[in-house]
Amino acid sequence: MQASFHIENFSGLTDQIQAATSTDVETALDSRTCTLNDLAALLSPAAEEFLPQMAARSRELTAMRFGKTTQIFAPLYLSNFCINRCAYCGFAADNAIPRKKLTIDEAIREADILKERGFKHVLLVTGEAPAKAGVDYLEEVVLRLKDKFAALSIEVQPLEQEEYAQLFRAGVTAVAVYQETYDRKIYKQVHLAGKKCDYDYRINTPARAAAAGMREIGIGALLGLSHWRAEGMALGIHLQWLRKQFWQTNFTVSFPRLRPAAGAFEPLVNVTEKNLSQLMFALRIFDPDVGLILSTREEARYRNGMLGLGPTRYSAGSCTAPGGYSSDEHDGEQFSVGDHRTIDEVCKIIQNKGFDPVCKDWDREFQSFP
């Protein structure tokens, strides 16, 4: 078993970032290899006046590493049962929302709708409730759904390495698990009950999934819980560590930004679109090869503008309530969607901007199992 990951001094990251000067930012923009010090400079307040140049550099690097393409996927919510009480989430155990877990047939029905719409990569999402939606349920869903799609990824409760291996053999190729916040103090404050309270277990989940053979791991922080610049640093440090330990694995970063949800949680920090852009540009410059995911939490106008500037993967036509594709009722959502466009509308905009919307990136058939 590999070494475990930790962030030593979260508040120290803020100090390092705040201390960066314009000269540091220029150095970071000009250098051929971006260090963690450079990342700190790019995340700093001093970098804000360089945002257009950061965008240009980010666009250049994204084109070099990813070409003029944008990957498309859809989330498929299987269950919103959850044993955790996270202060910020619509699925929190003490929120009175209609709870639903899809039967296998219902999951197939949702999947068929997505398939018909043209999606080839699907992200299976659940709240965290192992008793209701455990590994065996997930495995069964995956086995029934996998032939409909080129790739299936999951965003579910943190699992053990052997459980990830089980799901990998069943047909899952990617795992997304977000630390939410790397700030241990805030983490404790917002995770009030449930297994999610264990900061260390969660932070080592990406490593367990990678060790199980998953081809791609997604990390992320829920922007607004703690200081976003320090979260950006923590994400960079985590990414660098993961790459060192798992050199054969692909990585992505997601940027969920706190939006209205049942329970009306007040974020510590208001993270603006400008902040979000700076964060994405900084991470792109720091790691030219990491996938950057912009979900439908963000508005259409913003997502259109960001095309080609850094993000490499977009969800589309999303519904965050289980069974939401089959019905018109969207009760029991995890969060409200900002971009309501269909996959066709999103793909059209992508093409108009001179990019190729990629619905399929990988075929499971080519995969070998150790």
Q: Which residues of the shown chain bind other proteins in the complex (CB under 8 A)? A: 22, 25-27, 29-33, 49-57, 59, 243-244, 247, 272-274, 277, 299, 301-302, 304-306, 309
Smallest gap, in angstroms, from Cβ of residue 218 to other proteins? 21
Smallest gap, in angstroms, from Cβ of residue 120 to other proteins? 28
Smallest gap, in angstroms, from Cβ of residue 150 to other proteins? 26
Considering beta carbons, is residue 139 or 299 the nearer one to other proteins?
A: 299
Considering beta carbons, is residue 76 or 306 the nearer one to other proteins?
A: 306
Considering beta carbons, is residue 179 or 278 the nearer one to other proteins?
A: 278
Smallest gap, in angstroms, from Cβ of residue 249 to other proteins? 12
Token pair 């029905």: residue: 109
39 with 29: CB under 8 angstroms?
no
Q: Cα 301–266–334 angle (5° rounding)?
A: 60
Spatial CA neighbour of 267 closest among 162, 180, 364: 180
134 with 167: CB under 8 angstroms?
no
Considering beta carbons, is residue 180 or 298 the nearer one to other proteins?
A: 298
Considering beta carbons, is residue 237 or 306 the nearer one to other proteins?
A: 306
Smallest gap, in angstroms, from Cβ of residue 239 to other proteins? 13
